[in-house]
Structure 1
């Protein structure tokens, strides 16, 4: 994979250099990661085996949980290992692979969130045409396009990075490999490359966020014509989505839509969308969703009965 570079490895500074704080970082992120994996796996299994959760909304929620699981796994395990190491070395190829996985599954999460907003728009604003528009075949096609778009996005980022020469230094002031920290280490002018990154990642985040916000504004305006019970149910669903969208897109837009500079706050901001959002998604979509909670109870009782 390595091209145009004499650097074979990078050194990550991590979240902190203090040994005592590193132990704290390890235990905090271990709890976050275990909860993330268990929560998203529970949602995946519940949707797979519950006939009551066969609607398009839960079809997309299934893929959101998959994206969360892989997205978190591309970052947090490496952070856990590094928090116990005195020298945090990552090879050039591992660094490029981590960036590809980060952007592949991060963009997949973005596309799935957009699809979930489209699903809610059709369900609330076009209820009579909902079964026709959001057919199973249509949902499958949309997910396939989401995967293709994510792959194209991740591949584009890597192709741009592989063209950059790295000849030292190799110290990355971050806990993971990402675009802006690596641009600082490239021994060439990166102005044009950064513009391409912003037009790719930055535009993806910003445009998707605007589309999502516009769709929810339209949905909320349309609720005036619904019954009180219908408004309550729709507001509960949409508020869950809006919480996730703000927590995920806010930090992403801050990181990927600015000139090639790194700030001290970048590492903490990155924590929000690499570890925080995948952890919160299962809580938001289960604690605020009666159908998911009921399906989980039925699945648990079925497992207990078999024992």
Structure 2
């Protein structure tokens, strides 16, 4: 009987040999030890790699994957609820806290953004970035977002200039309104004074309008070579009034004068109203100053609607005198 221990396998035999346990007829079946330990031991000893059969390599893959360390999944970013708010014109910390529903009110906003706002919580500027729901960025970042001193000075100057411009515009509007009111008062006073003078003197203008053709204007349109009266601007149908009390000398057709009325006044002067569209008095009738005697028109030798008015020393043509001078001398402002 051979001595014990003389048939032990040499140490140099391949570790893979010990791994084969059985081979079946239905295909190669390979039982392997944990390759992690054996392979690592062989690598440490500098052993040459051994080529495995394909079936053995495929069987080894699940064990290799199980032995490999798993990489940890990236951690999800914490949700802090912090948000950034950009200050706009008209903002205040209390308004921002109310609008943005900040718990703790403006004190919370100020406490979280003290480095951004500074020592005065009432002094914030458009464009300033405030953190709501957490602490504000560091002072270095605050300097980058806060308005520069030069920008602050420029904004203050612009606000000052705008307020000065608004005050100037307000003063100009007030002065313009005062001038308008003063002119209206002057016109009212003039009309009132005219009425007073008319009441005192009994004289008035024949129509409430200005002169279009003056007295003694020269030209071939008149048979005498000049204008014997004045033409007042008056559209057709404008009421015509007697300039003073008197008696109607004539009322009817006057040839080139069209429909006309001639009145003899108490001072011996005569007034003529020509080119009328309609008559309102008759010959022999007494009239008072300011009484309506007809309507203006364009009858007779006329280029368009107006009132031809004369003052005469007699009832007929050729005894004319300055009509405006006569009315002014009797207190009628023209």
Give yes or no for TM over 0.5.
no
Q: Larger Rg: 1 or 2? A: 2
Relative CO higher for 1 or 2, CA cutoff 8 Å, sep ≥ 6? 1
TM-score, normalising length: structure 1: 0.23
- State the TM-score, normalizing by the size of structure 2: 0.21
